[in-house]
Amino acid sequence: MSIAELTSLPGLVLLQHATIGDVDLSKATFDRIAPSACTFVRCDFRQATLDRRLLPLFKARQRNVFRECRFDGADLRSIDPGASRFERCVFDGADMQGWNAVAAEFVECHFAGRVWHARFYGRPWGPTATDLDPHRTVNEFRGNDFRDAELVDVAFLMGIDISKQRWPESDDYVRLDRIHQRLTRGRAEILRWKDLEARGEALEMVQALSFLYMAQNDVVARRSEPGVSAQPEVQRKVWSTLAGVL
């Protein structure tokens, strides 16, 4: 099938166990596409708004694989990545707000610009975790490059190996191991603070972090996050306390 044929077919386009290469899907005119167990190679989604037409790309019963695809500047807010696998894909400037990637895999992908309010998981999680096709108990997540990204309210959870990714070097971020030991000892330190208001905010933050990272040992986090009840200076003091207790 040629590039022109795929992107200009009317109605619903069904694909099964196909390899689709070098297709500009950002300009496709079909009504809807429903691929399953397909591999997309060097396909172009740049500046596209992934809406109802492209929703089944990521929500296929048998997962689809995206290899060396471009999602630069794409609006992905209405798309759940599902159980998709992304290999050497580029997400520079993509709007991923609200992504909860409980079953998706990312290998050697590049992220740049603001990545906001997103969650990535090292193990499948949630009601669909046992229904994956093919079945797996680990989400491969390695070699990803976040050095040019601004991570805002982004968390890496459920066993993601922090050492196998590349992170921003800015002092705006903190990287800590043994987070649960640090939270336990940090809480004891915070209980000694004299400022009652700051102490209350800090203890609430520690409790939230304990819940967020319940299945994660090493963390990368922003020292001050918008939307957190603790004041920015309290957040930074909490992270400094956690860094210093071990």
Alpha helices per DSSP H over the chain: 3-8, 179-190, 196-212, 232-244
Last residue within a domain, chosen from 169, 203, 224: 169
pTM: 0.90
Contact 92/115 with Cβ under 8 angstroms?
no
Element (H, E) at 158: none
Q: What is the pLDDT along the chain (246 residues), one digit of tens a residue?
A: 444 445 444 555 667 888 989 988 777 655 667 788 899 999 999 998 887 667 778 877 789 999 999 999 999 998 889 899 999 999 999 999 999 999 999 999 999 999 999 999 999 988 878 888 788 999 999 999 999 999 999 999 999 999 999 999 999 999 999 999 999 999 999 999 999 999 999 999 999 999 999 999 999 999 999 989 999 999 999 999 999 999
Domain range enclosing 14: 1-169
How many Å apart are CA 20 and CA 82, to the nearest integer? 19
54 and 159 within one domain? yes
The residues facing 116 across adjacent strands are: 152
**Cα separation of 168 and 177, whole Å?**
17
Q: Are residues 175 and 139 in the same domain?
A: no
Whichever domain contains 127, its CATH number is 2.160.20
Q: Given 134, 169, 204, which residue is the final one in a domain?
A: 169
Domain count, the chain: 2
Separation CA 48–CA 59 (nearest Å) = 18
Is 88:67 a contact under the CB 8 Å cutoff?
yes
